Amino acid sequence: MAENTPFDVLTTTAVDLQRLLRENKISSVQIVESYLAQVKQHDAELRCFISVAPRETLLRAAASLDGERMQGKTRGALHGIPIVLKDNFVTAMELGMGTTAGSWALVGAKATANSAVAQKLLDAGLLILGKTNMTEFAGMKMTMISPGWSPVGGQTVSPYTGPIIQGETLLGHSAPGGSSTGSAVAVAAGFSPLALGTETIGSIITPASRAALYALKPTVGVQNSAGMYSLTDFYDSPGPMAKCAADVLALTEVLLGRSFARSALDPGSLDGLSVGFLNPSIWRMAEAMCRQHEGTAEQMVGVPPPSLRIAMLTPISQREEYQDAIARLEKAGCAVKCPVEIADISALTVDGEQAIMPIACEYNGPFANPSR
């Protein structure tokens, strides 16, 4: 952690920061300075960023938001809080950052307006601290390059495992996951309390899980994706990453422009919610993609029939951790479907080919239609 920071950048959440701001124990200017100090100290090693907003630009914006707060005006629950964006959201040049999607082909391109999502964040009082590294063109070059690598930003490195080991599988233990890699690592490394990524099939959830974060892929199509590099309109969605569920909720409310009733989110009750579990003995990554470590298979055993679940709750070994998670949800009132039966991906085809890539390739566009 950077020295002389008024809070711990590694553990403090956006909710924590908002409380400190309300209590006048900190300012947005101090918050920005703390995160920039952490970036300066560690990003050369982790390579989270393709660009960081100019310091003076950020501090002016933070001071302006502090002024609004002193006048009793706040724009929302995340007023004065920094966020980082995957470098496939267009940002206007007045913010001091370009948009590359990780490709040299777009370096130097200039935009006069922000993407719809970036503008929504700014209007809500968030501070865009930087644009994060990503798998080039979200992996659309299809050369099986390492997740989190781009020619512009280099290879993003996990703050937990360090550099990718030689001979690592595509999504192996030391691989940080992709394609929203820089966004996830930035939050884990204490460069920002919040981050935004985009997901086609796993590009938010995979790097977030590797960085020990909470994350969400909102329903496809519920956000205005104008000015966002999109692999395909059918699958892509912007989504939040953070250190706690409360932060994910707060950022989701900004993105979707709606509030969720807190009473329905009482941690002691999950009435009205439903969760489905796949059978982990069937639905797991192939060894060629991610080699299992010792003990992994024992933790992820086949799911027993519903009639046997309760009888197996007493922990006997690590293998029952999966069942224990199901039991906890059921105890809280959540409707659990276990296992969920879906067709194997090999059975999902279009014209005799696996379905995902033919659809993605046919409808891919460099940036989503601004008229949407």
CB 135, CB 124: distance < 8 Å: no
pLDDT of residue 146: 84
* Residue partners of 308: CB distance under 8 A and separation at least 6: none
Query: Would you tell me how many other CB atoms lie within 10 Å of the CB of residue 236?
Result: 25
The pLDDT of residue 5: 73
Structure tokens at 178: 């992709």
Beta-sheet pairing, 49-52 with 127-132: antiparallel
Q: Which residues of 333-361 are buried (b: 16+ CB within 10 A; e: fewer)?
A: ebebebbeeeeeeeeeeeeeeeebeeebe
pLDDT score of 359? 58
Residues 308 and 189 in one domain: no
DSSP letters for 204-244? THHHHHHTT-EE--PPTTSS--TTB-BS-TTT-EEEEEESS
| Residues 293, 212 share a domain | no
Residue 368 lies in a domain: no
User: What local confidence, expressed as pLDDT, does residue 300 receive?
Assistant: 56
Rg (CA), the chain: 21
The last residue of one of the domains, among 233, 260, 287, is 260
Is the domain of 93 the same as that of 212? yes
Same domain for 96 and 127, yes or no, is yes
Residue 351 Rama label (left phi>0; alpha psi -120 to 50; beta): left
Number of domains in the chain: 2
| CA atoms of 186 and 71, how far apart (whole Å) | 32
From the list 230, 213, 339, 242, the residue with the least C-alpha distance to 284 is 339
- Output the domain CATH number for residue 24: 3.90.1300.10
Q: 158, 179, 230, 237: which one is catalytic?
A: 179
Q: Indicate whether 248 belongs to any domain.
A: yes
Residue 364 confidence (pLDDT): 46
Phi-psi domain of 323 (left: phi exceeds 0; alpha: psi -120 through 50; beta: other) = alpha
Structural element, H or E, at residue 50: strand 49-52
* Residue ranges of E strands in 90-147: 127-132
Please check whether residues 242 and 330 belong to one and the same domain: no
Count other Cβ atoms within 10 Å, centred on residue 36: 20
Q: Is 86 a catalytic residue?
A: yes
Q: How far from 334 is each of 22, 155, 172, 314, 330, CA to CA, in Å?
A: 34, 41, 33, 20, 5
Q: Tell whether 279 and 167 lie within a shared domain.
A: no
One domain, residues 105 and 231:
yes
DSSP characters over 52-87: E--HHHHHHHHHHHHHHHHTT---STTTT-EEEEET
User: Is 203 among the catalytic positions?
Assistant: yes
- The last residue of one of the domains, among 213, 229, 260, is 260
Whether residues 178 and 70 share a domain: the answer is yes
Residue range(s) defining the domain that contains residue 246: 14-260
Query: Is 64 inside any structural domain?
Result: yes
Backbone angles phi, psi at 106, to 5 degrees: -110, 0
110 in the same domain as 199: yes
62 vs 263: CA distance, rounded Å: 33
* pLDDT computed for residue 297 by the predictor: 61
pLDDT of res. 365: 45
pTM, to two decimals: 0.86
- Do 57 and 193 belong to one domain? yes
> What does the alpha-carbon distance between residue 252 and residue 260 come to, in Å, rounded to a whole number?
9
Reported as half-sphere exposure (CB side, CA atoms, 13 A), residue 251 has a value of 34
Domain annotation covers residue 359: no
List, for the chain, all residue ranges whose pLDDT scores fall below the cut of 70.
Answer: 1-4, 141-144, 262-268, 295-319, 345, 355-372
42 within a domain of the structure (yes/no): yes
Same domain, 57 and 183: yes
Q: Evaluate whether residue 298 is within a structural domain.
A: yes
Beta bridge partners of 238: 198
| 134 & 76 share domain | yes
Q: Write down which residue in 221, 237, 260 finishes a domain.
A: 260
Q: Choosing from 27, 28, 86, 192, which is the catalytic residue?
A: 86
Tell whether 235 is covered by a domain: yes
- Is the residue at 118 inside a domain? yes
